[in-house]
Amino acid sequence: MDEKFIFPQRLKTISFALMAIGLIGTAASFFLYSDEEGVQRWWANMLLNAVFFHGISMAGAFFLAATYVAYNGSITVFKRVPEAVAGFMPYSALLLLLVLIFGHSSLYEWTHADVVESDPLIHAKVGYLNLPFFFGRFAFFVGILLLLSYLMRKNSLAEDQHGGITYYKKNLTVGSLFLLFFAIYISVTSWDWLMSLDPHWYSTMFGWYTFASFWVTGIAVMTLVVVYLKKRGYLEVVREGHLHDLGKLMFAFSVFWTYLVFCQFMLIWYANIPEETGYFRQRYDHYMWLFYTIFIMNFIAPFLVLMSRDAKRKMQILIIAACIIIVGHFIDFYLIVMPGTVGNKGGFGLPEIAPPLFFAGLLIFVVFTNLTKANLIPKNHPFLDESLHHTT
Amino acid sequence: MHAESYLRPPLIQGNKTYLQITEDISRSVEAKPSRSWWIATTISAIVMTWGLICIAWTVWFGIGTWGLNRTIGWGWDITNFVWWIGIGHAGTLISAILLLFRQKWRTGVNRAAEAMTIFAVICAALFPVFHMGRVWLAFYNLPYPNTRGPLWPNFNSPLMWDVFAISTYFTVSLMFWYTGLIPDIATIRDRAKTKIAKWSYGLLSFGWVGSAKHWQRHEMLSLVLAGISTPLVLSVHTIVSFDFATSVIPGWHTTIFPPYFVAGAIFSGFAMVLTLMLITRKVLNLEEYITLDHIESMNKIIVLTGSIVGCAYLTELFTAWYSQNPYEQYAFANRALGPYWWSYWGMMTCNVISPQLFWVRKLRRSVWFTFFMSIVINCGMWFERFVIIVTSLHRDYVPSSWAMYSPTWVEISIYVGSIGLFFTAFLIFAKTMPVIAMAEIRHIMKTSGEAQKKAALAEHKHHGHDTHPLPNTN
């Protein structure tokens, strides 16, 4: 079961190229669009990407914690993959923190003293929407989750070395704590980072809805990594049954996302209260085709593509479905961020194209570097044998 | 080849053979009803009859016999309706969703939970039906080509969607439950001694002979039904939550309602499964099939769903403040501090704080504590519906319409009567049908029986792995 992953030179070059092109493009767009609207648009894109990729890395850690706590016996063989994705957390958190520190005044209306003075609604929310508390919440929740995810990885590596079920049990505890804090983290940070872009608007569903979006994107990214490794001849012990499980998860949580999105939209549409409908009115009037695109890409496409059993077991189809899901959910976040920052002027050009390239390049580089750091198949895990024999 | 981790505890204790499984489970059906069964059934039937009398009273004298008024049009009736529907969620969740998640422990409890689902949905249906007042016109709900001219049910109303959602759910749950029962009924038929038992179980078993073809079709049908039930479980309580959330009433109109109602329903459903199963396993000596590990797994689901519900309560509370909508803020302040404060704090204590005790392994594995908690949660979830319905309604937009509500003896009796109906039905079921799915237990014996588990562990040690004792299962 010894399997060492070596970062293929070609992939490494691709990741560097992506980062370089992305960085140059991002920097160029900063200077090319230097009027006030352009700066806002630039920061909006930075926030969009930082949050989106941060969510992917969180989904990796969540995947690990949830499967530990649920005594999952099928994913153990490829559990280095969620570990590697979770290893992107420190980088994504740092980038997000930088974006929030330097970009907050371009992004969040409520950080402007004059707006707070003249807007009674925002004024009343100052107890929550103020910068020290905002960054305090960031530090507290992201800090705790970083620590817990670091511990999960540490125990997992120690298990490889020393065996026994001590480390497994430790991870059970760490995993449960992770889930507990994650539930509060995802609620609070989705209000902070995304919902407060439209500071008048509120929806109780919002945190769960962004969770669904992050989660299904994370699963799609992990599926792509597993499939890539398999295509390169690694992880031969991952068989159709395991792929089937990943396919089922993508299918199920695409439906789950749709369920939450539909419920949130339908309830607001049905009650027709102006304070609430404004959010969708703006998105529907000015971004109508994206409004329908996310529904097609995140629901209809994965639903039809992944419907049959055979489809979920074929790598080629999983790649297609995962790519649709990742792009679709990126657009989903675009639709959350842009109308809240640049209003009706959300565009598509260099500022939109370059940053995702940089973030994707960095994600690829960090994830695959993490994969080289430990044996690709965990040793001594009490569910390893079960996972190796897993069939569906 | 299939392998199972040595960490997984055995789900069938006591080195059983296939024959012993059959005998242990069919014993309760074949033996003469015990005295305690007669006593319990008689009491339940009396309570049920009293409830039926009060339903007749309502029909005869009208809804005026209830404590409802112009401000509070929904009181105990809809509270009880939502409470029962919620309880009816566990059965199908266990059979469909836990099946998809490959949770083998479901085999110990799925049969009884599915039966419970069906009885709970029947109890639930009583309340909206009799709340109609002129119950003989209940069929107006059905959209059939009618002679009433343009008068059709209002398809825009979530109450109408409820009619479809619940009747579909009931039908599919019933089919799922009965399909699972067929092989077990055939077993009882083959073992039956008396002519009448042979004949009646023979009739109910649809001529099952256990041929390969029968099993193949049975498995196929179960799979299809599981596929249909999975979205159904989620849809039923989602649509029940729409009854409230589509309105513009503060405290009702909030977008988190659908998923949070579903989580709450599973929470209360599992509590009721535990209430019933803890008694059943004791009375019918089924401790070897419903082990402490089964109980612990269910308690974990309770702590999970309880925490989800708690997260939703706090989100609602926060958003009420954050919205800076004075009506919304008042609705929540009034819940916690208004005249019905006791129901709010009852709900918070029972649903959010107390389930957190299940983080402690010792408590998760304590039968008495679990039983106590299952009752606490059932009360808490009843409070929750009362809080949502009555507390949100009793302060109307116009202060001159403010009102209070308290139930009359008729409403209380109908509620208690519905509990009587539920237990009567369950007791009759437990006496006439195998409460544990025999066929499914036999199916997992090779992987999860105690003897097989021990052998696997010995094998594991033999291969020079470090030695771990079998996890403690008492």
Eight-state DSSP code of residue B96: I
Residues of B in contact with A266 (CB under 8 A): 246
pLDDT by residue (tens digit) across B296-318?
Answer: 999 999 999 999 999 999 999 99
What pLDDT score was predicted for residue B449?
85
Amino acid (one-letter) located at A312: K
Nearest 5°: the CA angle A334, A340, A345 is: 75
pLDDT greater than 90 at residue A209: yes
Percentage of chain A surpassing pLDDT 90? 84
Residues 341-380 of B with CB under 8 A from A: 359
Nearest by CB to A271, from B238, B248, B256: name it. B248
For residue A390, give the chain B residue with the closest CA: B2
CA distances from B147 to B132, B140, B154, B233 (A): 21, 11, 16, 35
d(CA B431, CA B115): 13
**Residue A238 belongs to some domain of the structure:** yes
Evaluate whether A321 touches A220 at the Cβ level (below 8 Å). Answer: yes
Evaluate whether B51 touches B418 at the Cβ level (below 8 Å). Answer: yes
Topology at the third CATH level for domain B18-141+155-449: Formate dehydrogenase/DMSO reductase fold (1.20.1630)
Average confidence score pLDDT of chain B: 90
What pLDDT score was predicted for residue B469?
47
Distance from CA of A261 to the nearest CA of B (A): 10
- Section B234-249 average pLDDT: 93
d(CA A172, CA A165): 11
Answer whether A271 sits within 8 Å of B322, measured CB to CB: no
- A229, with CB counted inside 10 A (0-12, 13-18, 19+), is buried
**Residue A2 belongs to some domain of the structure:** no
Distance from CA of B94 to the nearest CA of A (A): 15
pLDDT by residue (tens digit) across B405-460?
Answer: 999 999 999 999 999 999 999 999 999 999 998 888 888 888 888 888 888 778 77
| Domain tally, chain A | 1
Evaluate whether B177 touches B114 at the Cβ level (below 8 Å). Answer: yes
Which of B1, B11, B323 would you mutate first to test chain A, the one with the most A CBs within 10 A?
B323
Amino acid (one-letter) located at A74: S
What pLDDT score was predicted for residue B474?
40
Find all residues with CB under 8 Å of A248, minimum gap 6, and list them. Answer: A306, A312, B100
A120 is in which domain, residue-wise?
9-384
Residues 151-170 of A with CB under 8 A from B: 163-165, 168
Return the biggest CA–CA distance within chain A: 65
CB atoms under 10 Å from CB of A219, counted, come to: 27
CA B136 to chain centre: 28
Answer whether B2 sits within 8 Å of A389, measured CB to CB: yes
Query: Which is nearest to B93 in space by CA: B270, B220, B311?
Result: B270
Residues of B in contact with A206 (CB under 8 A): 255
pLDDT greater than 50 at residue B467: no
- Work out whether the CA dihedral A201, A205, A208, A214 comes out positive or negative: negative
CB of A208 within 8 Å of any CB in chain B?
Answer: yes
Evaluate whether A1 touches A377 at the Cβ level (below 8 Å). Answer: yes
Residues of B in contact with A168 (CB under 8 A): 7
What pLDDT score was predicted for residue B462?
66
Residues of B in contact with A116 (CB under 8 A): none
- List residues bridging with B449 in a β-sheet: B12
Q: Which of A95-104, A254-263, B6-15 is least confident?
A: B6-15
Residues of A in contact with B7 (CB under 8 A): 71, 165, 168, 382-383
Distance from CA of B322 to the nearest CA of A (A): 6
pLDDT by residue (tens digit) across B324-357?
Answer: 999 999 999 999 999 999 999 999 999 999 999 9
pLDDT greater than 80 at residue B472: no
Distance from CA of A85 to the nearest CA of B (A): 24
pLDDT bracket for residue A60 (50, 70, 90): very high
Distance from CA of A386 to the nearest CA of B (A): 5
E-strand ranges in B21-148 read none
Token pair for residue B434?
Answer: 């195998």
Evaluate whether B449 touches B4 at the Cβ level (below 8 Å). Answer: no
pLDDT greater than 60 at residue B152: yes
Which of B4, B315, B361, B388 would you mutate first to test chain A, the one with the most A CBs within 10 A?
B315
Nearest by CB to A264, from B6, B255, B323: name it. B255
φ, ψ for residue B449 (rounded to 5)?
A: -70, 155
pLDDT bracket for residue A389 (50, 70, 90): confident
Helix (H, G, I), strand (E, B) or coil at B467: coil
**Residue A83 belongs to some domain of the structure:** yes
Distance from CA of B332 to the nearest CA of A (A): 14
- Section A355-374 average pLDDT: 95
pLDDT by residue (tens digit) across A115-138?
Answer: 999 999 999 999 999 999 999 999
Answer whether A382 sits within 8 Å of B316, measured CB to CB: no
pLDDT greater than 90 at residue B91: no
CB of B448 within 8 Å of any CB in chain A?
Answer: no
**Residue A75 belongs to some domain of the structure:** yes
CA B404 to chain centre: 31
What pLDDT score was predicted for residue B195?
92
Find all residues with CB under 8 Å of A291, minimum gap 6, and list them. Answer: A283, A284, A335
Find all residues with CB under 8 Å of B5, minimum gap 6, and list them. Answer: A73, A382, A383, A385, A386
**Residue A4 belongs to some domain of the structure:** no
Report CA dihedral (A209, A210, A214, A215) to the nearest 10 degrees: -30
Residues of A in contact with B246 (CB under 8 A): 266-267, 270-271
Residues of B in contact with A249 (CB under 8 A): none
**Residue A390 belongs to some domain of the structure:** no
Distance from CA of A92 to the nearest CA of B (A): 26
- Section A66-72 average pLDDT: 92
d(CA B300, CA B168): 29
CA distances from A112 to A34, A117, A130 (A): 20, 9, 10
pLDDT greater than 80 at residue B2: no
**Residue A84 belongs to some domain of the structure:** yes
Token pair for residue B323?
Answer: 């919205």
Evaluate whether B90 touches B272 at the Cβ level (below 8 Å). Answer: yes
Distance from CA of B343 to the nearest CA of A (A): 22
- List residues bridging with B448 in a β-sheet: none
**Residue A389 belongs to some domain of the structure:** no
Answer whether A205 sits within 8 Å of B255, measured CB to CB: yes
Answer whether A203 sits within 8 Å of B325, measured CB to CB: no
Average confidence score pLDDT of chain A: 93
What pLDDT score was predicted for residue B14?
84
d(CA A207, CA A190): 5
Which of A76, A204, A270, A276 would you mutate first to test chain B, the one with the most B CBs within 10 A?
A204
- Section B5-28 average pLDDT: 86
Query: Which is nearest to A254 in space by CA: A282, A291, A213, A292?
Result: A213
d(CA A259, CA A280): 17
Distance from CA of B440 to the nearest CA of A (A): 18
Answer whether A204 sits within 8 Å of B312, measured CB to CB: yes
For residue A188, give the chain B residue with the closest CA: B315
ipTM over 0.85: yes
Helix (H, G, I), strand (E, B) or coil at B449: strand
Residues 258-317 of A with CB under 8 A from B: 259-260, 263-264, 266-268, 270-271, 273, 275
